[in-house]
Amino acid sequence: MLFLISFGGAAQVEREKKLEEVVLKKGKSTYKNKKENPAYAIMQEVWKRKRNNGLQKFKTYTFKEYEKIEFDIANIDSAFMDRKVFKKLDFIFDYVDSADNGRLALPVFLNESIYTNFGQNEPSKKQKRLLIAQKTSGFEDNQIVTLTAKNLYKEIDIYDNIINYFDIGFQSPVSRDGFSTYNYELMDTISVNGQEVFRIRYEPKRSDVLAFQGQLYISTDHYAVTQATLRSTKKMNVNFVNGIFTELEYDNPDENTFLPKKYRTSLDLSPFSKNKTAKSLVATRSVDYSEYIFNPPLTDADFEARESEMTEDFVKKDDAYWQSARTDSLSQKEKGIYEMLDRLEDTPKFQRIAKAYETFASGYYNVGKAIDIGDLYSIYGRNEVEGDRIRLGGRTYFSQNDDWRIQGYGAYGFRDRKFKYGAEAKYMCNKINRFTVGAGSRRDVMQLGVQLTTDDGIMSRSFASSSVFGRGENASLSSVSQTNVFAAVDPLKNLTVRLDGTLQSIKSANEEGFNLYYHDNDGMLRKTVNDSHLTLSLIARPGAKFSQTGVDRYEHSTLAPTIVLKYTRGLENLFNADYGYNKLQFMFYKPMLIGSWGKSFFSFEAGKNFDPVPLALQNVIPGNQSYSLVTNTFSQLNYYEFVADTYTTAHLEHHFNGKILSFIPLIKKLKLREVAFIRGAYGTLSEESKAINVEGYKYSAPDRNIYYEYGFGIENIGFGNLRLFRVDFNWRGNYLQDPNASKFGIKAGIQFFY
């Protein structure tokens, strides 16, 4: 059966390119080349008129955003309902409903949010997304669930070449190189909301790539996408995710712009199995955009944060408000979620289950809604000096938006039989600019030299307690006594200015195996370095997104870069400090989506000590003698193998997401993914700095050539959807003449990637 659609009219003739006719065939069609495909001509017009979000056209704008997130347990059956865990909770099955696939589903979570968005394009760009109302079913005191739900979703623009799900890049069906990934077929023309549109079906040429299948609805007048559906393929290689389904709807007020109207995304999540009948969690987010107002009179005050907007009471609204504010009324099933969770709130067993989840996700166990015990994942460690090490800590925790927090820990080593501790208190004086002050102290055994741009906070975890197994004998541990006071403020969004004052003494924790002896300015032999210094840090996180307004915040996963600039001034003679010195450091880190080829992580660091200092205060190119994966370290370097006054380092790691291994017939069934990486370091060490240390002749910098390592890794090792293991194979590229040099090594670890 053939259909003929012709285009006419003066307006059509004046277009840059006119489609004379489009032939539609019933059933799947094949073409010798893409230019024979009538869908190609239509998509060319879409690409030529690639739309920009219409909000960019106006000096100012406002709009309303209504968001709804729902979790359902899918594929439940009578055997599931009869499990002991549901004893005394069986009333929840009164709320079981039939899902879209005909199987039974139990709704377990519902979160509603309403935002007012303010925007300005001229004279300068400003944006504010203000949460004005939020309602959560049964989890007001357990925000980990709500934050986890919101972190699953990214904003989508169908016109982008790459669409971001879980910080993984999927090829958009509307991208300019879409025909390299997809087959398109023009099905027919239909009327949608009174508008004539082409209906184009698309599907990936290969089912195991990160791409979608679905339909595009494109205006016959303006070649704008009015609606789109995106459904993942059955062979999609994403951890914990069985399927993705997204529906998009746009309003097109003119030929050059579009406005988001409705988005709906459902994620089928399962930690163990991709079987269609397996129990899974279906997470659905729907967003309605409405009440667009263009060029309203906005002032700078409209974009400023207000203290009142950051209180928990600000977003709490009564039922009457929600009844009128919802742009999409609740279904009977959704109303039942609130009713069911209200009943569960009074059930002790449910409270225990919710608390167990929060403990697993945060690493802290809450006692009496005031104290958290943890971090539970740091309880055990082992190193050469302490032997087996036990660490237990706690913190104050009244709510996720606490203005102040006190936290601390105690640790004990069974070999050295010494007690260690750390404690810190901090208080946020102003929520608008996040002006925070704090102080802390610790005495601990630490592995220095595993980080160049260090964290000055007292409660940063000691690397020594993390290294359970390692290559070679590591005796290069330090005993550190440290006191720190700091003040921090955010003068601009995502920009922090922090000033630290630190007093510390550092000596070897194992003098027989690791010599930190040095000569002070008077030529006296010393074994403990006394140091007092001030550090000014500028920390920029452009594009980062945070939840909560308290002294500690939850950061959503994004592709935001991290930029750090630090200046440290050593204050000689202050509190018996031995040296005055100046140090400047810079660090840049950025995750990047590289089209359909995967995701890269790039980091660059540079720094300089302008004055000679002893080894305990020197820049050490970070080695890693453990068998674990440690970010921004050099796997084949021993601790303190390279020491530098001036240094630069770079790390590039690319995750191909199975792009290469998916071409190998038998291997691709294992759903393994490949990783490639290269690391480099260059630095110099002055003779003056060498001379300060008794064993200074032992230390050198990578100054003859750029030291480099390279290798590859296999990740996504596991079974079902639970694929958390990664193994790296590392080669040392040069500086091989040292008999102790490690030329090849294997590292392994767990990583929580989708």
Could you tell me the pLDDT band of residue 27, with boundaries at 50, 70 and 90? very low
pLDDT at 602: 96
Q: What are phi and psi of 748, to 5 degrees?
A: -145, 155
Query: Binning pLDDT at 50, 70 and 90, where does residue 682 land?
Result: very high
User: What CATH number does domain 363-750 carry, 3.20.20.70, 2.60.120.260, 2.60.40.3710, 2.40.160.50?
Assistant: 2.40.160.50
Pair 595, 169: CB distance under 8 Å:
yes
| Per-residue confidence (pLDDT) for residue 21, from 0 to 100 | 45
pLDDT in tens, 477-490: 899 999 999 999 99
Beta bridge partners of 440: 424, 484
**What are the pLDDT digits (tens) for 315-335?**
888 888 888 888 877 877 777
In 3-state terms, what secondary structure has residue 57?
Answer: helix
Residue pair 734/708 in contact by the 8 Å Cβ criterion:
yes
Residue 29: which pLDDT band, with cuts at 50, 70 and 90? low
Average the pLDDT over 68-90 and give the result. 71
User: Residue 243 pairs with which residues in a beta bridge?
Assistant: 268
Q: What's the pLDDT tens digit per position in 716-732?
A: 888 776 788 999 999 99
Residue with the two structure tokens 């397996």 = 278
Q: What is the pLDDT of residue 3?
A: 28
Confidence check: pLDDT of 83 > 70: no
pLDDT at 590 over 60: yes
Looking at per-residue confidence, does 278 or 367 come out higher? Answer: 367
380-383 and 365-367: which strand pairing?
unpaired
d(CA 174, CA 176) in angstroms, rounded, equals 7
693-698: long-range contacts at Cβ-Cβ below 8 A with a sequence spacing of 24 or more?
Answer: 693/516, 693/517, 693/518, 693/519, 693/614, 693/615, 694/515, 694/517, 694/518, 694/519, 694/525, 695/515, 695/517, 696/615
CB count in 10 Å sphere of residue 36: 12
- 273 band by pLDDT with thresholds 50, 70 and 90: low
What's the confidence (pLDDT) of residue 594?
A: 87
pLDDT at 26 (0 to 100) = 45
Between 694 and 472, the higher pLDDT residue: 694
pTM above 0.75, yes or no: yes
Distance between CA atoms of 261 and 289, rounded to whole angstroms? 5
Judged against a pLDDT cut of 50, whether residue 24 lies above it is answered with no
Query: Across residues 138-156, what is the average pLDDT?
Result: 68
Question: Residue 363: which residues within 8 A CB-CB, separation 6 or more?
Answer: 374, 375, 376, 377, 378
Max mean pLDDT range (80-89, 322-331, 342-351): 322-331
Supply the pLDDT for residue 138. 58
Instruction: Report, as an integer, the average pLDDT of 659-678.
Output: 85
With a pLDDT cut of 70, the percent of the chain lying above it is 85
> Where are the CATH 2.40.160.50 domain residues in the chain?
363-750
Half-sphere exposure of 358 (CA within 13 A, CB side): 23
CA geometry: angle 401, 404, 405, nearest 5 deg: 100
Q: What is the mean pLDDT of residues 735-739?
A: 87
Q: How far apart are CA 559 and CA 392, in angstroms?
A: 33
* Core vs surface per residue 557-592: b (16+ CB within 10 A) or e: ebebbbbbebebebbbeeeebbbbbebebbbbbebe
pLDDT digits (tens, 9 = 90+) for 537-556: 999 999 888 876 788 887 88
The confidence score (pLDDT) of residue 20 equals 41
Highest mean pLDDT among 103-107, 376-380, 472-476: 376-380
Sole residue written with tokens 């087959």 = 183
Q: Please name every residue paired with 286 in a beta bridge, in sequence order, or none if there are none.
A: 68, 264
Gap between the Cα atoms of 288 and 261, Å rounded: 6
Confidence of residue 684 (pLDDT cuts 50, 70, 90): very high
What phi and psi values does residue 679 have, to the nearest 5 degrees? -135, 145
Q: Which residue, among 707, 722, 728, has the nearest Cα to 754 in the 3D structure?
A: 722
Rg of the chain taking only CA atoms, in angstroms = 30
DSSP 54: G
pLDDT of residue 306: 84
> What's the rounded Cα separation, in Å, for the pair 681 and 636?
12
198-249 residue pLDDT tens: 999 999 988 777 889 999 999 888 888 999 999 998 878 788 888 899 999 9
Grade residue 471 by pLDDT with cuts at 50, 70 and 90.
low
Model confidence at 253, in pLDDT bands (50, 70, 90)? Answer: confident
DSSP 109-162: EEEEEEEEEEEE-SSS-EEEEEEEEEEESS-TT-HHHHHHHHHT-----TTSSE
Residues 6+ apart with CB under 8 A from 209: 171, 181, 233, 596, 659, 662
Q: Rounded CA gap, 620 and 238, in Å?
A: 38
Residue 234's φ and ψ, nearest 5 degrees, are -65, -25
How long a stretch of residues is the chain? 754
- With a cut of 80, say whether residue 39 has pLDDT above it: yes
Preceding peptide of 123 cis, ω within 30°: yes
Scan for tokens 């609204």, then name that residue. 317
pLDDT value of position 461 = 60
